[in-house]
Amino acid sequence: MVVVQYIEFIEVFIPLFIIINPLAIIPNYVDVFRHLPKKEAEKVSNRATLSAFFLLTIFILIGRPFFAVIGISAPSFMIACGLLLLYISMGMLSGDPPITRNVQMDSSSIVPMSIPLLAGPGSIATAIVLEDTYGSLMVFLALALTMLLSKILMDKSELIEKIMGKNGLNAWTRLSALFYAAIAISLITDSIQTIW
């Protein structure tokens, strides 16, 4: 019984970790917050991960009823998330991610560190899909672990950049862009099959 739950947890955690992808935001984080004192930088990472966690939790809890009330069916929402994710992944593949293109990095703001980098359209859609199959408790636990890991990775970002190298991080970004694109396509096609 415990083993089953353990395996289920892994099955929820890995897709969430891949789609939230804290490793891919490390280059941004290092660039902006290198100049801040350590305490300030930790404040930023705390706020980013906590607000992303709360936003995703809110979406898991009341996302479906909210969209039902304003007249959007779940497949339409999934397709929209898939389209936005596809747009993001195309930008990442060509080396010009749309998420950070037009925003100013600002340590007092939750944009873009928390949304849409940590809690993007892909994370929201994936969390809702996982909640459907595995129940909300599993998703909450996996989400909490992911955010905790993200916080640790962000705090140790300079070390990680040293280990993986600029090229290593860049390669990881391109690779995860490919994963994103595939996840986006699967979200879109699954939902189209549900509608038709």
Partner 1 sequence: MIITVLKGTFALFWILDPLGNLPIYISMIKYLEEKEIRKTLNIASLFAFFIFILFLFCGDLIFDYLNFKLEHIMVVGGMLLVLLGVDMMFGPEKEVLDYKNIAIVPLGLPLMSGPGSIATLLLISATSGIDIAIYCMAIAMVLQYFTYMGAKLIIRISGKNTLKIMGYIAALVAASFGVEMISRGLALIR
Chain residues binding partner 1 by CB under 8 A are 51, 55, 67, 69-73, 75-77, 79-81, 83-84, 87-88, 98-99, 101-103, 109-111, 115-116, 121, 124, 195
Encoded amino acid at 168, one letter = G
Dihedral (CA of 102, 113, 169, 140) sign: negative
Nearer to partner 1, 118 or 138 (CB): 118
Question: Phi and psi dihedrals of 91, rounded to 5?
Answer: -60, -40
Distance in Å, CB of 27 to partner 1, minimum: 18
Distance in Å, CB of 144 to partner 1, minimum: 20
Residue-level length of the chain: 196
Nearer to partner 1, 4 or 70 (CB): 70
Nearer to partner 1, 127 or 138 (CB): 127
Distance in Å, CB of 119 to partner 1, minimum: 8
Instruction: Classify burial at 8, counting beta carbons within 10 Å of its beta carbon; exposed 0-12, middle 13-18, buried 19 or more.
Output: middle
Instruction: Classify burial at 70, counting beta carbons within 10 Å of its beta carbon; exposed 0-12, middle 13-18, buried 19 or more.
Output: exposed
Distance in Å, CB of 196 to partner 1, minimum: 8
Burial of 116-141, coded b for 16+ CB within 10 Å and e otherwise, reads bbbbbbbbbbbbbbbbeeeeeebbbe
Nearer to partner 1, 91 or 149 (CB): 91
Distance in Å, CB of 66 to partner 1, minimum: 9
Nearer to partner 1, 130 or 138 (CB): 130
